[in-house]
Each structure stands twice: as C-alpha cells, then as structure tokens.
Amino acid sequence: MPFIANTDAERADMLAAIGVSQIGDLFHDVPEGYRYPTLDLPEALSELEALRELGALAAENENLDEVSSFLGAGAYRHFIPSVVDFLAGRSEFYTAYTPYQPEVSQGTLQAIFEYQSMIAALTGMEAANASHYDGATATAEAVIMALNAVKGKRSRVVLSPTLHPMFREVVRTYTQGMGLDIVGDHEKDADFHALLALCDANTACVVVQNPDFLGTIHSPSELQDLADAVHARGALLAVAVDPISLGLLTPPGQYGADIVMGEGQALGIPLSFGGPYLGFFAMRESNLRKSAGRIAGETVDADGQRGYVLTLSTREQHIKRSRATSNICSNQALMALRAAIYLAVMGKKGLRSVAEQCYHKAQYAATRISMIPGYQIVNRGPFFKEFVVRCPLPVDETKDHLLVQWGILPGYDLTTEYPDLGQCLLVCVTEMTTREEIDALAEALAEVADLAAEETE
C-alpha cells in the first residue's frame, strides 16, 4: 500500500463510525461469487526496484540521443528550452484538474487563455480552443464542426492526399457512423484543382495541409483561390499546419482558411514515442458555437477585477448530452501549457529563428543529396523542413544500411502510403540537425548509391 495514509487503528475508528465491522462489509452489493477475484500480477515493487526496472526498459530503446535522426512525418525533434520542463513540471499545474471552479483555478485558466491568444496570433485566426488530443483528432473535429456549421445537411468531405495519412484515417474512424462520402485522398496526385472538382453542393469541407505531408509549401495565392472557390460552394476550408512553419510562412488566416488545426507537438513537447501530444484548433468567430472543446474566456469578478472562466460550455456534452456534437471533455491542457510556455519564451524573435534554421538547413540537405548521383528531390515547389528523396535502392535497404553502418535514421519510408512515388524517403531537418549530421547523411547515401551501382554491374 505505497500511497495510503491511514493506519489500521484509524481504519478501525472509521469503520466504527460507519457502523460496520470490516471493510469487506462495504462491498455487500457486489455479487458474492464475484468478489475478490484472483489477479495474476507481478509482485509489488518498492520505489527503488521500480526505478531500476523502468530504467532498464528505457535503456532497451535506442533513442534519438544515440543515433542521428532525419525522421519526422508529423512528430518532430525541436529544441525545448529548459524552462518548459521546469515550469510545466510545477505540480500546482499538473496535479490540478479541469478548471471548473475558476476562483481557485486562475493559473490554469490564464495559461489556457494565453495559449489561445498565441495560437490565434500564430495562425492568423480570430479564436482558438483549449486543445484536442492531437493533430489527427483536431482534424476529425474540424470535419465534424464543418458538417454542423454549413447551411443545410451536407455529407461530402474532401481530403487532400497530402494531408497526414493518420489524420485521414482518424477522420474516417470518427465519422464512420455518420454516413459520409469522403473523397479526394485516394487519387494520390490530386492537386487543388482536382480537389475543387470534387467539392460539390453537398460538400461540407475541404481539408488540405500546408506545408503538406511531403514538405511542400503551397502558394498563398493558390490557397486563397481554393478558399474562394470552396466558399462559393458553401463549404469550409480547413488547413492543417506545422505551427513552427508559421514563424516564417504566411498564416492560413490570411489566405481564407475557416479552420486551422494541426499537431502542436513541435511547440515544446517531447517526442515521447507518440504522446501525449497537442491538437491545436483555431477558427473564425462566426463558427465558434459549432466548435467542440473547452474554451477559456475573460471576465471580471465581483470586485471588477479581471479573471478567467471556461465559457461557451453549453456546447459541451455535460450540458447538451445527446445533442452535443462532440463528447470531448479531458483535453491536453498540460501540453497546451507547454506550448504556451514555449511560445512565450521563444517569442517573436525565437520562433522566427527556429523556422528560418529549419528552412535553410533543409535546403542545404536537399542540395547536398540532390548532387549525389542516383538521388532525386521529388518536391516540385518550395519545401519547409521536410522533403522527398527518390532513392536508387529500395528504401528499407537504404534505411537498414544507414542505421547499421552509420547510426543514421535517414527518414520515413513513403513506399506504403505513396507507392506511386516509387522508392521514396521523407527526410526531415530541423534546427536540431547539425551540418556534420547532414554531411554524414549525404556521405552515407552516396555509399548506398555506390552499392547500388555495384549491384547493377
């Protein structure tokens, strides 16, 4: 009983006050034959033993401190300033719950309000909510919001093939009972014109990603044209973005997006094998009441002092029950806090410099690789921090060679999700990647190309 305070004597006093003789009597409503089942679990560990066991399990992994990694594909290694861990590690934040009682939760509420403010500023939108579980679920909630926000009942959803594959899969999982017609992403080379051709009078929304899953940055003027055309058909445009890119790139609020969402992990949250992450979600004010998720708002107290509360809660499940459009309650508040601290401490100058370094280093890496015979950069337009490399050898062989011989994770294998591209690797470069690592990657890839040449000889 590692964390139970009461002693046997105290328990005896409490049982007497309740009027029963033993704790087991409190469970008389549990059917008798089902009480106290056997649990086949390992013996309890002391703290010291648990630390040893977990330390050993952690050490069994080869983490990114031990290899040189160019793996991205939606989860990124960025610099996390020390203050983020320090401040988010304050237990006044992490051992509180949802700020239902605002007078004793002003810390969490103001932090959420500041997070919302900075997300709205970053995306160029009018409002943001307090978070979703991750980028994929934020995208599913964007689709559901669009279905509720458009006039009349519409059932078609157009997804770009370069929207993150997991985001697309989660949209399908979430909406499988809604009778939707989800189109667009099966044509792997569908561009904006092709997507627009699918956007009919029955379409609730078009969802694109920028920079897209393959790293390409789309031009704001083309996106604005897409937005105008989508709006003319009475539908909404939702844009998934990498928040780091917005330190450098035009925000979607400036090219007509109605919803801007995405994976916020890059904002001060460790990779942590895929979670917990952060789904950020920004929108125009006109659609606020159709949105899901918690939102903090500013108000005053009985003395007229500024304070914050959760607001618009009538949209939520605890009030609307079966009429609610989403069931979300717990969100990723602590991750939103991390993002708020990250954005505050990196600030205007810091985020710009992170974005610029990602961009310049990625261009350098792509240039180096493009000079190696046998390799080809596939992206047609400019790219931000990821780009697609077509390889002379199958991607899995390339990856194996680089990992074993060089200790390099060269990127994400695109052959399963984008077979039409051929033997392609998605390479990610951030401000964490050094020139030496990029040079080593180029050298290693050249070695693979030589092996490929030898094989064909």
Partner 1 sequence: MTEPTVYQLSSPGRHGPTLPALDVPLAPLPDAQFLRAADALPLPELSELDVVRHFVRLSQKNMSIDTTFYPLGSCTMKYNPKINEKVAGLSGFTNLHPLQDADMTQGAMQVLLELQVYLAEISGFAAITLQPAAGAQGELTGVLIMRAYHLDRGDVKRTKILVPDSAHGTNPATTTMAGLQVVELPSDSRGNVDLVALKTALDDTVAGLMLTNPNTLGLFEEHVLDVTRLVHEAGGLVYGDGANLNAIIGIAKPAELGIDVMHFNLHKTFSTPHGGGGPGAGPVGVVEKLAPFLPGPLVTVEMDEEMAGLLAAGHEHALHEHDHYRLAWYTPSKSIGRVRSYWGQFGVLVRAYTYIRMHGAEGLRRIAENAVLNANYIKARLLAEGSYPVAFAGRTCMHEFVAQGILAGAPDIHTMDIAKRLMDYGYHPPTVYFPLIVKEALMIEPTETESKATLDAFADALIQIAQEAREQPALLKEAPHAAETKRLDEVRAARELILCRC
Partner 2 sequence: MSYQYDPNARYAKTHDWVRMEEGLAVCGISDYAQHALSDVVYIELPEIGAELIQGEVYTTVESVKAAEEVYAPVSGKVVDVNPDLADTPEQLNSEPYAAWIIKVAPSNPEELDALMLADAYEAFVQAEEAGGH
Q: Which residues bind partner 2 (CB under 8 A)?
A: 289, 313-315, 319-320, 323
Of the candidate residues 157, 158, 174, 258, the single one contacting partner 1 (CB under 8 A): 174
Question: 84 or 206: whose CB is closer to partner 1?
Answer: 84
Closest contact distance (angstroms) between CB of 83 and partner 1 is 6
Closest contact distance (angstroms) between CB of 98 and partner 2 is 16
Closest contact distance (angstroms) between CB of 327 and partner 2 is 16
Give yes or no for residue 276 binding partner 1 (CB under 8 A): yes
> Could you give the CA distance from residue 178 to residue 80 in angstroms, rounded to a whole number?
40
Residue ranges in 183-242 that form contacts with partner 1 under rule CB under 8 A: 217, 219-221
Give yes or no for residue 455 binding partner 1 (CB under 8 A): no
> Could you give the CA distance from residue 288 to residue 247 in angstroms, rounded to a whole number?
25
Closest contact distance (angstroms) between CB of 342 and partner 1 is 10
Give yes or no for residue 418 binding partner 1 (CB under 8 A): no
Give yes or no for residue 178 binding partner 1 (CB under 8 A): yes
Q: Of 243, 34, 9, 264, which Cα lies nearest the Cα of 135? A: 264
Question: 257 or 295: whose CB is closer to partner 2?
Answer: 295
Closest contact distance (angstroms) between CB of 202 and partner 2 is 19
Task: Rounding to the nearest 10 degrees, give the CA dihedral for residues 155, 161, 167, 170.
Answer: 50
Interacting residues of 436 by C-beta distance below 8 A, sequence separation 6+: none
Q: What string marks each residue from 279 to 318 as x (binds partner 1 by CB under 8 A) or -? A: ------x--x-----xxxxxxxxxx-xxxxx-xx-x-xxx
Residue ranges in 97-136 that form contacts with partner 1 under rule CB under 8 A: 97-108, 110-114, 116-118, 120-122, 126-128, 130-131, 133-136
Give yes or no for residue 26 binding partner 1 (CB under 8 A): yes
Distances (CA, A) of 395 to 158, 407, 424, 448: 30, 16, 7, 11
Here the tokens at position 270 are 């460790």
Interacting residues of 430 by C-beta distance below 8 A, sequence separation 6+: 72, 76, 77, 78, 244, 354, 357, 358, 361, 385
Here the tokens at position 300 are 């005053």
Q: Are 236 and 150 in contact (CB under 8 A)?
A: yes
Give yes or no for residue 406 binding partner 1 (CB under 8 A): no
Closest contact distance (angstroms) between CB of 456 and partner 1 is 27
Closest contact distance (angstroms) between CB of 158 and partner 1 is 19
Residue ranges in 311-340 that form contacts with partner 1 under rule CB under 8 A: 311-312, 314, 316-335, 337, 340
Q: Which of partner 1, partner 2, none sits in contact with 344, Cβ below 5 to 8 A by type?
A: partner 1
> Could you give the CA distance from residue 127 to residue 108 in angstroms, rounded to a whole number?
18
Question: 307 or 422: whose CB is closer to partner 2?
Answer: 307
Question: 110 or 317: whose CB is closer to partner 2?
Answer: 317
Q: Of 144, 261, 132, 164, which Cα lies nearest the Cα of 204? A: 144
Pairing of the two strands 259-263 and 279-283: antiparallel
Give yes or no for residue 8 binding partner 1 (CB under 8 A): no
Give yes or no for residue 394 binding partner 1 (CB under 8 A): no
Burial of 274 (0-12, 13-18, 19+ CB in 10 A): exposed
Residue ranges in 31-90 that form contacts with partner 1 under rule CB under 8 A: 31, 34-47, 50-51, 53-65, 67, 69, 71, 73-75, 77, 79, 81, 83, 85-87, 89-90
The Cβ-side half-sphere exposure at 428, using a 13 Å CA radius, reads 24
Question: 313 or 376: whose CB is closer to partner 2?
Answer: 313
Give yes or no for residue 151 binding partner 1 (CB under 8 A): no
Question: 313 or 376: whose CB is closer to partner 1?
Answer: 313
Here the tokens at position 119 are 């997300």
Of the candidate residues 260, 343, 369, 408, the single one contacting partner 1 (CB under 8 A): 343
> Could you give the CA distance from residue 2 to residue 101 in angstroms, rounded to a whole number?
30
Q: Of 118, 142, 163, which Cα lies nearest the Cα of 261? A: 142
